[in-house]
Structure formats: structure tokens, C-alpha cells
Amino acid sequence: MPVELRYEKCCLTALLSGEIDHHSAAFLRGEIDAALARLHPPLLCLDFDGVTFMDSSAVGLVMGRYKYLRGFDGALEVVNLSPAAYRMMRLSNLQSLAKLAQKQPEKREKVQP
Amino acid sequence: MSKTKHTLLNQMKLELDSHSVNESFARAAVAAFAAQLDPTVEELTEIKTAVSEAVTNCIVHGYPACCGKITIWAGIYHGGQFRVWVKDRGVGIADIAQARQPLFTTLSEERAGLGFAVMESFMDRIKVRSKPGGGTTVTLEKEIRGRAQ
């Protein structure tokens, strides 16, 4: 599964994995939005720990969820970003809309094909 | 003849249908070709990301209503210079300067409008040639310093 959703302590966590591009983002958007519509969580945490590749489609995914959450005053957190992912998020000034956190250095050893 | 940074040492070309499922194949193919330069993981990620942006642009913007052909060429030059061009024969871009502005997008679909900004940030040089109705060619260049450095 490219996304696993968990809801506990008023926080919906989406554990993303694999590659996020324009092709895969549509599926992820559908899964996350269905859970947001059902739960209206005060906090959504998008966890990129299992993401092995992303392009700007993932930034679009994050921005879209931010807009969705604003509809019911939900907050957004994006965690475990690789250095390249963090750079891309900052290109769109996402740090002013959501809390962004990079992966811990010792967890960066994911080699891509 | 002495080798300069303009001496082409190796090249590859591939043609794909503009189906979004081909995005991952396109970037993986270019990355696999670039691997002979012994790039760092970071350099390889940057190439894959830039190619993914260029190919997605062809699919989303070049051929918005139909399926067309995307041609990708990659070349390795003397001294570790890597060049890729991604070409479609789609609708073209009327105002290239506007299209390259960060956060600019013509689509209501969930697009960040960052494609060109990411290509510029991750590669050394980017060139865009396009005319309405005449398709678009994006050329990306990067010097690969590699893991030996």
C-alpha cells in the first residue's frame, strides 16, 4: 500500500511510501481526502519516511491537503522529508503554511535505483 | 583530435506514449544511463526529479486532451557533462517566461506550478524552446562530479 492511515489522539497520520509523482498522487489524494472527510481531524501529519522518490506533484499533494484542512481549521505537519524533498517544499514556501521536518541524518541511507 | 567538454562520448534516445504511468519508467531509464558517470545519490535524485518534471509537463500540458509521443535524448560529454532533452509535439507554450515563473500554473488540477522551478534548482542549466502548436523541447544540463570527488 502506498499509504497507510492511522488516527489516534486527534491526529490523522498518513504514512506515505514508494514514489510520488503525477501518476501516483491522484490515488493518494483520494485515500487521504476520504479519511479527512470522515474524521475532520484537528491535525493531519503527512509522514514521508517511506518515500523513495518525489517530484513537485508531492508538493501539489501537500498544498491541496492544506487547502482542504483550512475548511475546518485543521493543522498540517509534514515530517521525515529527505533533503531534496525539503528543498522542493521550501520552493513553494510551504514552511509558512505547515510545520516541515527533515529526516534525521542517520535515517537518510536510502539508496535509489 | 583533443577531447573537450563538447565531445559527445555516449548517447541514448527513447520514445514513449504520453501515459502518466510512463513517468517512472522515463526517469528511471535516464537515471540508469547517467549511472555510468558514477554520480552521487544526491546527483542522481536531482536528475531523476528534473526529468520527471519535464516528462510530466509533456503529459499534462503538451498533450492535455490526447495521447502523443514524447522523445527523450540523453548524452554524456567529456568531463562529466550530462545533457538531456525532453521533447513533445503538443500544444506548445505561448509565453515561456510566464510558464517558468514559480507557482504559475494554467491548470485547476492540483498542480504546484513548480515544474520549471525544480528543474532550475536541481540542474545547472535549462533551456526551453516552444511555440504554440509546434511542441516544446526542454534541455537540461548538469555537470556530474561523481562519487570520486
Contact B56 A111 (CB under 8 A): no
User: Counting every residue, how long is chain A?
Assistant: 113
Name the minimum distance, in Å, from the CA of A10 to any CA of chain B: 26
Query: Known catalytic residue: B111?
Result: yes
Domain boundaries, chain A: 3-107
**What was the pLDDT predicted at B129?**
97
pLDDT in tens, chain A (113 residues): 689 999 999 999 999 999 999 999 999 999 999 999 999 999 999 999 999 999 999 999 999 999 999 999 999 999 999 999 999 999 988 999 999 999 987 655 556 55
| C-alpha to C-alpha distances, B73 to B34, B55, B145, nearest whole angstrom | 12, 12, 21
- Look up residue B95 and give its amino acid: D
CA dihedral A43, A62, A14, A30 (to 10 degrees): 110
Determine how many CB atoms are found less than 10 A away from the CB of residue A96: 8
Contact B111 A60 (CB under 8 A): yes
The pLDDT tens digits for B13-65 are 999 999 999 999 999 999 999 999 999 999 999 999 999 999 999 999 999 99
Q: Which helix (H) or strand (E) element contains residue A12?
A: strand A11-20
Cα–Cα distance between A5 and A13 in angstroms, integer?
A: 6
**What was the pLDDT predicted at A107?**
53
Cα–Cα distance between B52 and B76 in angstroms, integer?
A: 19
- Evaluate if residue B3 carries a pLDDT over 80: no
Mean pLDDT of B86-95: 95
**What was the pLDDT predicted at B2?**
76
**What was the pLDDT predicted at A68?**
94
Determine how many CB atoms are found less than 10 A away from the CB of residue B19: 13
Q: Which of B100, B111, B129, B143 is catalytic?
A: B111
Pinpoint the alpha helices (H) of B35-111.
Answer: 41-57, 96-99
The pLDDT-based confidence of B102 (bands split at 50, 70, 90) is confident
- Take residue B115 and report the three cell numbers written for it: 515544474
User: Residue B115 contacts by C-beta under 8 Å, 6 or more apart in sequence?
Assistant: A56, B53, B54, B56, B57
Contact A56 B24 (CB under 8 A): no
**What was the pLDDT predicted at B127?**
97
ipTM over 0.95: no
- Evaluate if residue B149 carries a pLDDT over 70: no
**What was the pLDDT predicted at A106?**
67
**CB-CB neighbors (< 8 A) of A63 in chain B:** 110, 112
Query: Known catalytic residue: B10?
Result: no
The domain defined by A3-107 carries CATH number 3.30.750.24:
yes
Cα–Cα distance between B115 and B134 in angstroms, integer?
A: 20
Neighbour order of strands in the sheet with A43-54: A3-8, A11-20, A43-54, A75-81, A99-102
Cα–Cα distance between A41 and A6 in angstroms, integer?
A: 11
CATH number given to B8-143: 3.30.565.10
**What was the pLDDT predicted at A110?**
57
**What was the pLDDT predicted at A108?**
54
User: Residue B18 contacts by C-beta under 8 Å, 6 or more apart in sequence?
Assistant: B58, B59, B62, B63, B67, B68, B69, B70, B88, B90
